[in-house]
């Protein structure tokens, strides 16, 4: 066995960022595989093997599973809006925002491809072989999100801002030692429940992407797989809304949490009490410490601008 162990050891990825990217790719892959496969199941079975609610629930199970899978590796952001929020909060190095986001989009793209393979026969049967964005036999909405006919651009934008703000506002307290947090080891199902809540209440207008990677990855896949450029041009170039609005909403929700709740919570009295509540693994703390260090260097370089920016928005 020693030879096997040696091989494993040699294959161990030493670079932290590479490991984190692997974690985000695989995590987002799992999230989207559950989510898009459920959408395909509901759509192609014409709601005989599931309904809107079961697709929401499957996305929620995807969140839970992806978080257990990769949060020790990468924090399981699974969402560029979450990564951006953690950058603003100082918990992720700004320099990692782009790689994280690209990893998430890649994971979403790959999952879409696999869902297409699994449901190829059913999609062909359902759509009569015509891959389209419109009409009763459209199948594009299995992958990316699209608005209803009646909703305006501004409302869609607001909808995505509010949805993602709710996401950050509701998940930040879950892990805040100064608040009354959820058990560390049960964060994944509780975060998943929040996501389920958002899907059940804010997905009527434009599908509750609240996650640029969850939307762009599958959209790119459908573009390359035969649905054509319409996936980008339809609904008056709607596609940019689930890319931009969640970024705005995530930061907004984080700031609301800080300003209205977090700043006013009592400080943890001493390190020993903090330890008591602290169920993070050493690794997590090390990574987080690393990220804070990166951030401090980065912020040093842009400190004046950054300080002014923070002061302005707060």
Using CB under 8 A as the binding rule, whether residue 194 contacts a second copy is answered as yes
* Residue 106 structure tokens: 């890649």
Identify whether the C-beta of residue 163 lies closer than 8 Å to the C-beta of residue 249.
Answer: yes
- Contact between 121 and a second copy by CB under 8 A: the answer reads yes
The answer to the question of residue 93 lying near a second copy (CB under 8 A) is no
Minimum Å gap between C-beta 157 and a second copy is 10
The per-type count for the chain, helices as H runs and strands as E runs, is: 14, 0
- Show the tokens assigned to 230: 């319409």
**Count of residues binding a second copy (CB under 8 A)?**
107
Nearest distance from C-beta of residue 207 to a second copy, angstroms? 9
**Window 207-246: residues binding a second copy (CB under 8 A):** none
**Residue from the set 54, 132, 137, 278 that interacts with a second copy by CB under 8 A:** 54
Q: Which of 98, 130, 265, 302 binds a second copy (CB under 8 A)?
A: 265
Q: Which of 151, 8, 31 is nearest to 79 (CA)?
A: 31
List the one residue from 134, 237, 240, 260 that touches a second copy (CB under 8 A): 260
272 binds a second copy (CB under 8 A): no
17 touches a second copy (CB under 8 A): no
Q: According to the binding rule CB under 8 A, does residue 99 interact with a second copy?
A: no
Measured CA distances, 47 to 31, 57, 108 (Å): 21, 15, 24
- Give yes or no for residue 22 binding a second copy (CB under 8 A): yes
Of positions 89, 97, 102, 122, contacts a second copy by CB under 8 A: 122
Token pair for 268: 């943890």
Q: Which residue has the tokens 């608040």?
A: 179
Site membership for a second copy, residue 127 (CB under 8 A): no
Residue 312 touches a second copy, criterion: CB under 8 A = no
> Contact with a second copy (CB under 8 A): which of 233, 263, 275, 290?
263
Name the burial class of residue 50, with classes exposed (0-12), middle (13-18) and buried (19+) by CB atoms within 10 angstroms of its CB: middle
User: Closer CB to a second copy, residue 180 or residue 229?
Assistant: 180
Minimal distance, residue 229 CB to a second copy, in Å: 26
Residue 152 φ/ψ region, left for φ over 0, alpha for ψ in the -120 to 50 degree band, beta for the rest: beta
Asked whether the beta carbons of 195 and 57 are under 8 A apart, the reply is no
Smaller CB distance to a second copy: residue 98 or 265?
265
Per CB under 8 A, the segment of 79-87, 128-136, 191-199, 227-235 that binds a second copy is 191-199
Phi, psi (rounded to 5 degrees) for 265: -75, 150
In whole angstroms, give the CA distance from residue 56 to residue 197: 9
């Amino acid at each position: 066995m020693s030879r096997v162990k040696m091989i494993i050891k040699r294959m161990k990825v030493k670079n932290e960022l590479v490991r984190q990217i692997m974690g985000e790719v695989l995590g987002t892959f799992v999230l989207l595989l559950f989510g898009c496969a459920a959408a395909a199941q509901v759509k192609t079975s014409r709601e005989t093997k599931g309904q809107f609610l079961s697709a929401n629930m499957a996305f929620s199970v995807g969140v839970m599973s992806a978080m257990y899978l990769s949060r020790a590796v990468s924090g399981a952001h699974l969402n560029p809006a979450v990564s951006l929020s953690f950058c603003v909060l100082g918990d992720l190095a700004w320099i990692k925002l782009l790689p994280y986001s690209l990893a998430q989009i890649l994971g979403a793209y790959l999952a879409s491809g696999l869902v297409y393979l699994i449901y190829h026969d059913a999609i062909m049967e359902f759509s009569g072989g015509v891959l389209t964005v419109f009409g009763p036999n459209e199948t594009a909405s299995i992958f990316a999100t699209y608005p209803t006919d009646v909703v305006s651009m501004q409302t869609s934008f607001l909808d995505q801002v509010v949805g993602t703000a709710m996401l950050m506002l509701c998940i930040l307290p879950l892990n805040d030692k100064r608040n009354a947090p959820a058990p560390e080891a049960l964060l994944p199902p509780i975060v998943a429940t929040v996501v389920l809540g958002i899907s059940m209440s804010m997905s009527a207008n434009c599908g509750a992407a609240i996650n640029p990677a969850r939307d762009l990855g599958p959209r790119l896949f459908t573009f390359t797989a035969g649905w054509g450029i319409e996936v980008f041009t339809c609904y008056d170039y709607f596609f940019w809304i689930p890319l931009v609005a969640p970024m705005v909403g995530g930061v907004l929700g984080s700031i609301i949490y800080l300003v209205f709740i977090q700043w006013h919570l009592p400080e943890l009295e001493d390190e020993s009490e903090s330890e008591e509540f602290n169920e993070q693994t050493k690794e997590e703390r090390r990574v987080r410490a690393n990220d804070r260090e990166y951030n401090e260097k980065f912020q040093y370089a842009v400190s004046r601008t950054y300080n002014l920016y923070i002061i302005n928005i707060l």
